[in-house]
Chains A and B, each alone.
Chain A
Amino acid sequence: THNPHISVFLKRTLYACLLILNFSSGSKVLVHFVNQSGMKSSVFVTEGESLLDAVIKKNLDISGFGACEGTLACSTCHLIFEESVYDKLEPMVDEEIDMLDLAYGLTKTSRLGCQVTVDCWMDGMTVRVPQEIKDLRGKQEAQSSK
């Protein structure tokens, strides 16, 4: 016969174990990255790291990402966020705005990854880089007209 006290006890023990695991390894946040070819990578990012740190640590295949290594001297860590996430991000400082202005494929929900620190509420979000559609047509024409 089913004993309600035992199942409650088990549930609580399980919950406590999960909590302990979380504290010992730092809160992990699930983030989905979509690269320039549309390829999706889902990784766990430690709370408090920047999205640039995440891409570097997990060795994600995003071409030329983070060229200036987080010193706000380029726009290669440009990421596009979901609107609901974007609206809740910390406001941009002037230096980020200046660099973001020069990014390719800029959107209304764009930020620089090196300036966004991962937080628990971002769990499950998707970020993407501008899609690049490789079109060989232009290059072929150029070849034939040389």
Chain B
Amino acid sequence: MARWSLSGRSVQFLSTLKELPQARSNHTGSVPAVKESLYPRDNSTVRPFNEIPGLWKNSLANLYTFWRMDGFRNIHRIMVHNFNTFGPIYREKIGHYESVNIIRPEDAAILFKAEGHYPKRLRVEAWTSYRDYRNRKYGVLLKDGEDWKHNRIILNREVISPKVQGNFVPLLDEVGQDFVARVYKKIERSGKNEWTTDLSHELFKYALESVSVVLYGERLGLLLDYIDPDAQHFIDCITLMFKTTSPMLYLPPALLRCLGAKIWKDHIDAWDGIFNQADICIQNIYRQLRKAPEADGKYPGVLASLLMLDKLSIEDIKASITELMAGGVDTTSITLLWTLYELARHPDLQEEIRAEILAALVASKGDMVQMLKMVPLLKGALKETLRLHPVAVSLQRYITEDIVIQNYHIPAGVSLSPSLMTTLILYILYFTLFFIFGLFACVLSQSDISTAGSLRYGS
């Protein structure tokens, strides 16, 4: 019930935001929005950084309070509380994590304008510590500067560019069909014409199967009744990795490593498992490429394409592929879960989307790529889900130049964090955003789920 009251407060907060003039709506043909938002409208003096409200003076006390409030599981509530207490900008310091948090879209625009040519994201020390410990390279998620840009540009061409998206469609379609078949089978087997399950677990497997087939061109077999123990171990490792990451955002991993803390050891084991799985897949691809390059014209997956392209070192490719794989699971599965939940609350919308997809299937005459261009309501539903339930807690930037937000001066180098949990605008997220479209379209393109009886979520 507490969660319902939270969304009540969120809606209240958001509705006041709607009354604020949007930077874009004030914009005429020749006056850029940048000028309006960069400099304060009232000509009052800009206030110094140290006057930004928030609890940032005693980081250890804050850490203790955070722990008492079960902070790791309540971050979204704490954020709403803080914005209500301090206003649209506040500074926080918990343990060794420090950040300035903002929430207004206009302020986020100022922030991203100051990110520079090599946007510097939050440094997740737990993850970089693992790689330093095992002497492995950083991938595109953790790299910075020119190295990041160089890798990112090459990966863009193989993963994001509209030209290559057609390659993924048949692979994702296959996984989608298998998932839906599995759902029907489960419903049939229950004998009650319905299936009650922890859908998050099923969607997790679905997301992992999807991202793997795109990256490796091969199925892991996660949608079968019997799952390969290695594959299961891989899933467990991803879960453990995320679970052990949260506390280490606030406590220095180096300290935990010195103390020989269990959380550090678990984190190492988890990443070891993830990297081992990637290594196995990479070796398989290598073997296949050597035996039969360009065999049967089938798209071989992102990894094989990168290896054949030969523009990045093998270690760089491995590092980025592993990070893409780890990053492509929770994001997809949780968004799908939220989308299904929202659709369950809006059965009329379900019918409309279903009709749209069926019409698109007919009009596109079996061309799935074409079909995906003809489903604006489906895409709108996914975007709306992401607006209501952003997949990440926040987006962070270390700014490269001084900026002014909410009339406070913020010097270059400070980490800023626009909170996504309670904000209106849609940010650019990660590569996996595309996967969500494809996967979900596949799920819904099958004959209607409603006749299969109710799908109840587990607790």
Contacts and interface: CB of A to CB of B under 8 A. Distances in A.
Contact of A105 (B27, B40, B402, B409): B27
A50 B24 CA distance: 27
A51 to B, nearest CB: 17
A105 B32 contact: yes
Interface string A41-79: 000000000000000000000001001111111000000
9 contacts: A71-B162, A72-B160, A94-B373, A107-B27, A131-B32, A132-B35, A135-B39, A139-B402, A145-B47
Given A104-B113, A142-B404, A145-B45, A132 B160 contact: no
B30 A131 contact: yes
B346 interface: no
Chain A binding site: helix, strand, loop or mixed by DSSP? loop
B34 A141 contact: no
A71 B39 CA distance: 32
Nearest to A131: B32
A64 B117 CA distance: 7
A138 B404 contact: yes
Contacts, number: 81
Given A107-B29, A145-B45, A137 B39 contact: yes
Interface in A93-110: 93-95, 99, 101-102, 104-108
Given A132-B34, A133-B32, A146-B48, 6 more contacts: A64-B117, A71-B153, A93-B373, A106-B33, A130-B34, A138-B39
Contacts of B409: 141-142, 145-146
A138 B38 contact: yes
A43 to B, nearest CB: 23
A93 B428 CA distance: 17
B32 A130 contact: yes
B49 to A, nearest CB: 8
A130 B23 CA distance: 15
A101 to B, nearest CB: 8
A93 B30 contact: no
Nearest to B112: A102
Contacts of A102: 428
A71 B426 CA distance: 19
Interface string B366-402: 0000000100100100000000000000000000001
Most buried by B among A131, A133, A138: A138
Most buried by B among A102, A135, A142, A145: A142
A69 B34 contact: no
B404 A105 contact: no
Interface in B30-55: 30, 32-35, 38-40, 45-49
A138 B33 CA distance: 16
A145 B156 contact: no
Nearest 9 CB-CB pairings of A with B: A105-B32, A142-B409, A71-B161, A71-B156, A130-B32, A138-B39, A141-B46, A142-B46, A145-B48
B109 interface: yes
Interface string A112-142: 0000000000000000001111010111011
Contacts of B49: 146
A137 B37 CA distance: 14
A131 to B, nearest CB: 6
A95 B404 contact: no
B157 interface: yes
A94 B369 CA distance: 13
A141 B156 contact: no
A106 B34 CA distance: 10
Contacts of B373: 93-94
A119 to B, nearest CB: 20
Contacts of B109: 104
Contacts of A135: 35, 38-39
Contacts of B47: 145
A72 B156 CA distance: 9
A139 B373 CA distance: 46
A67 B34 CA distance: 19
B156 A69 contact: yes
B373 to A, nearest CB: 7
A70 B47 CA distance: 40
A146 B46 CA distance: 9
A118 to B, nearest CB: 19
A71 B157 contact: yes
Contacts of A145: 45-48, 409
Contact of B33 (A64, A69, A104, A108): A104
Contacts of A70: 161
A105 B33 contact: yes
Contact of A94 (B46, B156, B160, B379): B379
Contacts of B27: 105-107
Contacts of B40: 138
A132 to B, nearest CB: 6
B161 A72 contact: yes
A93 B374 CA distance: 11
Contacts of B30: 131
